[in-house]
Structure 1
Amino acid sequence: MSLGKRILCIWMPRLPVNRFGRSGLPVEDCLFAVTAEEKNAVRLICLNKHARRLGLAPGMTLATARAAAPELITVAEEPLRDEAFLKALQRWANKFTPWSACEGKDNLLLNITGCAHLFGGERAMADYIVQELADKQVEARIGVADTKGAAMAAARYGAKGETIIPAGETRQRLAKFPIEALFVSDQTIFELKRLGLKRIGDLYPLKSADLMKRFGLGLLRAYEKLLGSAADPVTPAKAQPIFAARMSFPDPIGLTDDVSEALNRLTDQVCKRLSEHAFGLRAARLSIYRADKQQMHIDIGLARPTQEAKQIIRQFVLKFDKIDAGCGIDVMRLSATKAEPFEPKQKRFADAEKQNQLDELVATLGNQLGFDRVLRWRPLESHLPRRSFRFVEAVQCKDDGQWKASLSRPLMAYEGEHATILEPGRPPKRFEWRGRTFTAARFKGPERIGPEWWKGPQSDELKDYWQIDCEEGPRLWLTTKPGEKPHRWEVAGLFP
C-alpha cells in the first residue's frame, strides 16, 4: 500500500574520492584510494574507478592492495571534512524540497511529496539531480520509493533504470532485492544468509513473532520500516548557515597591503552575513591558496562572539608575519569555524569600552599562547580564602558581578608556603620567605577561621591569621595553628 509520501535518496558511494577530486587532486588519472585505520590495520575505504577495475575493493588492507598494485596512490580519510561536504550538499538539496536530511556518511534523504511535478516528474527530477551533482564532480545514484529504507535500497541495489519504485508497489519490487537492503548489522546479515534467507522476499512467509524471537527487535523494526508497516519519517535537520567569503585574483598578489585589503573585504562580507542571521563569530580561519598549489591556514579565536570586522581583522594582522606568499596568492577564503547566536546588549559607553578592551586582550593572548593558558578567577562560595575562587579559561568566564570586595581577604592566596622565623613572636617580628627577609612594621589579628566541617574530615584545620605590614612594602597574611608548639608559620596570601 502507498503511504502517500515519496522519499528520494541520493547515494554518493565515492564521496571521499569525489571531494579530493574537487580539491584539485588528479584522482581520475591514476590508481587512487582513500584509507582509514580499521580493525588494527590500514584499509581501503573508498576507491576510484581505475582501482575498482583492477580488482581492489573496500575493506582490503593497504599492504595487500600495494602488493597487487604498487603504483596505487592513497590518502588518509578526513571524516570531518567529508561530513562538512555532505552538509553543504544538504544545503544545496534544499532547492528541491525543504525536507532534507543527512543519513549516514554518504546518503541524502529528501521528502519530495508534492515536489516532483515541479521538475517534470520523478524520473526527470532524478536525472536533473544526477546531472547537477556530476557538474559538481560528485558521482551519485538515486532511489525513489514510499519509505526511507526502500529508497535507500533502490539507490544502492536497484538495477539500472529500476531505481524508482512506483507508489504502492514497495513490497512487490523489494522482493528480489538482496537481504543487505535491510541495512542491519553484518552479524545479523550473516545469520540470515546462513538460514538461506538471501532476499527480502524470503522474509515474506515468516511471521513477525518468529523473526523477533530469533533475531531480536532490531531486525523486526528495520523490516517493518522498509515495507512501511512502521513510521520512519525524514526528519529535516536544518543546516546551520555557512559564514564564509572567497576572493579570487586575476593576477597573483603578494604585497602586505594587497593581502590586508582583501582581508578587509572578506571580513566585511562575513560580518554582514553574521548580522543577517543574528550570529556572532568566535573563531575564524583565513585560507590562502598560492599559485604553486601550496596552501596555508591562519586560525584565530575571540573571547566573545562579535559582528565587528575591526576586532577580527586586528587578530589576523598580528599573524601576518606567518604568511609566505611564495610565487603569489591566487585565492583567499575567510570562514567562521565557530559561530554562536549573538544577542546585542546595551551598556554604558565606559563599561562597553572597558569590556571590549578586556576581550581584545584575552583574544590576543589566547591567539599567541593558547586559550587554555589564559585564565581568570571564578568566585566560589567559601569563607576559606584559598577555596573562595578557582581558575577557569578566560573565554569561558562571564563577568556576572559575584565578586565581593573585602579588605580582610588577600588578593593572592597561597597553599601554605613555609616561612622561616628569624625573630620569634606572635606574629613573628622577622621572617624569611621565598629567599627574602621581611620585618613586621604593623600587624592586625589574630582572626581565627574554622574548618568547613560540612565537607567532611578532609576540610582544613582550625587556624589563626594575621595581616602583617612589612617594612619592605608587601602586606602578607601569616597563619599558624593555635596551641601548636613550636609554632609553624606559613604565608597564606598577599594583599593588594
Structure 2
Amino acid sequence: MGATGPSADVPLVLKGSDGRRRVITAADDLAVHIGARVGMPVAQAESLFADLVIMDSDPAADALALEKLAIWALRHYSPMVAADPPAGIVLDILGAAHLYGGETGLVDDVVRRLSEMQITAYAALADTWGAAHALARFGGQAKRIVIPGGAGEALVHLPVDALRLPEDMLPDMRLLGLDTIGELAAKPRAPLARSFGQKLFRRVDQALGRLAEPIEPVQSPELISIQRIFAEPIGAPETIAKYTRRLVGQICDRLEEAGLGVRRLDLHFTRVDNRIETIFVATAKPVREPKRLTKLLCDKIETVDPGWGIDKMVMTAAFVEHLSMQQVIASYSEPARPDVEELWDALANRYGTDSLYRAVSVATDIPERAVKRMPPTSDDVGSTRNAAFRRPQRMIRPPESIMALAVLPDHPPRAFTWRGQRYAVARADGPERVRGEWWVSDNEKGKVRDYFVLEVENGERFWVFRGGDGQHEETGSLNWFMHGKFD
C-alpha cells in the first residue's frame, strides 16, 4: 500500500459488502493467526480484536492488478493465460514446460518469481483448470503436481467448495451431507440436477476432465497482434502453414514500423468447438525476419489438433525488444562470424532453453564452481585464472566418498576403493591445496582440501581430495573423495 499503508507488524483485514452485510473480504497472515477470517462480520471482528486494522477493499483495483499479473505471466511463461478471480491466474503450459526443464522447473520458477515480488503463491498443476484451481486453494500444499490422469484421486477428499459453485448452493449441499467432491461424484445425478441445475455436475465433469473448459487468454492492448477469421473452417496442415506465413509477414511489417524485434511469438487457433490450440516460439535475440519466424512456427504445426476445423487464427508478439538496423563491415583479413542464431533458436524451441548453453570459466579456486552456464548469445568470455591448472575432463558432481589408505598429514593414498572396486596406486602427484571461500559461505571459513592426481596400475588417472589438512578436524572431515577422472 506504499507509504500510506499500515505497518507490516500489525494484523490487517479488508472489508467489503456481502449483500447488506459488511464482512471481511481479505486477511493477512497476522490477522488469520489471531482468529480473523474471510466472511466474518466486520462488527464481530472489531469487538474481538482490538489491534486489528480494518481498511476498505477496492475490487476494481484488485481486478486490474490481477489482469496485470496475468499479462506478466503471459509474457514470461505461456501464451495461454487467463485471470481466475478473485485471486488467481490460470496457465495452459502445454508445450511450454520444456523451456524451464520440465513441469517442476516451471512451477518452481513461477513461485520463486512471485515470492521475489512479495506475492505469496500456491501453485497446482493438473490436467484440468478445475482440478488445478481446487488443489491450489484447498489442497493444503504450496506446490502440487498431479500426474496425468490423477485428477480424480487428488480431488476426492476436497470439499465441494473447491468446485467454483455458486455460494448460495453450498449450504443446501451441506444439509444433504455432501461435504466432499468424492461424495458428490458418487451420487445419482438426476435427482441432484433437478434440485441444483446442470451447473452442479458440469463443474464436476470439468474438474475431472470429462468436459472441456476453454481458456479465454488475456489480451494486452500494448501487444502487437494480427488475426485472420475464416468464412469456412480450415484444417489441412498445408493451409494452416500458408496462413501462418501470411500472418508472420503482416506482424513483421508492424514490428518494423515500431522499430521492434520479437523475442516470443504466439499463435492461437480457435476451433469451431470454441477450444483454443496454441503454439509459440522464442528467440535468443530480437528477430523480425519473416522466413526465419515462419520456419520456427511451421515446425510446430504438427502439434496442432484442428478438430472439426479452425475458424480463427490470432498471432501475437508477446515479448518484444527494440531492434535497429546495423551495418555489417566486411573484412578481407578475418572471416565473418558465422550466423548461428537461427540454429540456436531451432534447437532451443525443440529441446528447451536449458539444453543449449555456453560453458564459461569462473574466477574461483573451488573446482565445482569453476564453470558456469551462460546463454549461447552471451558475450561473456570468462576468466583465464584457472587456465594453467591441471583439471580432469570428467568431473564428478557431487564428489563421491571413497575409502583410502594414506599416511597423514600430507601423503597420497597408497590404495583406495571406489564404487566397490579396489585400486592400487602406482604413482601420485600432489597435494594441491584449495581453501574455502569464506566470502561465499560462513561454513567454508578455515576449510581446506588437499587434491592429488593418482595413477593406478592399469594406467587410469584419478583426481581425489582429502577434506581438511590432515591434522586439524576444524579444517575438514579428513575423509577422502573422488572428484574427477582424466581421459
Q: Please give the TM-score of this superposition, normalised by the length of structure 1.
A: 0.45
Whose radius of gyration is greater, 1 or 2? Answer: 1
TM-score, length-scaled by structure 2: 0.46
